[in-house]
Structure 1
Amino acid sequence: MTIKHWLLSFQGRIGRQRFWMWNLFYYLVMLAIIGAASQNLFGSFTGIAIFIISAALLMPDLAVTAKRWHDRDKSNWWLLMHVPLVAGRLMTPIGGAETVEPSMMQTAVSVVAIICGLWMLVECGLLKGTKGSNRYGAEPS
Structure 2
Amino acid sequence: MLVLLAVAAVYEALVGPTLHWLTGWFVYPALLYCGACVLSKRLHDRGRSGWWAALILASVVAVWPHPVGFLDFLFFVVVVWAGIELGVMSGEQGANRYGPNPLRAPLSA
The corresponding residue for 2:87 is 125
Provide the alpha-carbon RMSD of the alignment. 2.2
Q: Structure 1 residues 44, 77: CA separation in 2 closer, same or farther (over 3 Å shift)?
A: closer
The corresponding residue for 2:59 is 84
**Contact 2:35–2:57, Cα closer than 8 Å, also in 1:** no
TM-score by length of 2: 0.77
The corresponding residue for 1:31 is 9
The corresponding residue for 2:74 is 112
> Aligned ranges for residues 44-123 of structure 1 at < 5 Å?
44-79=18-53, 80-89=55-64, 107-123=69-85
Task: Give the whole-Å Cα distance in 2 for the aligned partners of 1:47 and 1:113.
Answer: 25
Q: Which amino acid aligns with 2:32?
A: L
**Contact 1:88–1:113, Cα closer than 8 Å, also in 2:** yes
Shift of 1:82: 2.4
The corresponding residue for 1:137 is 99
Shift of 1:28: 2.4
The corresponding residue for 1:4 is none
Shift of 1:71: 0.9
**Contact 1:84–1:113, Cα closer than 8 Å, also in 2:** yes
Which blocks of at least 5 consecutive residues in structure 1 are unaligned? 1-22, 93-101
Shift of 1:125: 0.6
Which blocks of at least 5 consecutive residues in structure 2 are unaligned? 104-109
Task: Give the whole-Å Cα distance in 2 for the aligned partners of 1:133 and 1:59.
Answer: 26
TM-score by length of 1: 0.62
The corresponding residue for 1:99 is none
Residues 29-67 of structure 1, C-alpha deviation per residue, up to 9 Å, x if partnerless? Answer: 112212213xx3xx5232332343121111111111111
Aligned pair count?
Answer: 101
Runs (4+) of structure 1 exceeding 4 A deviation are none
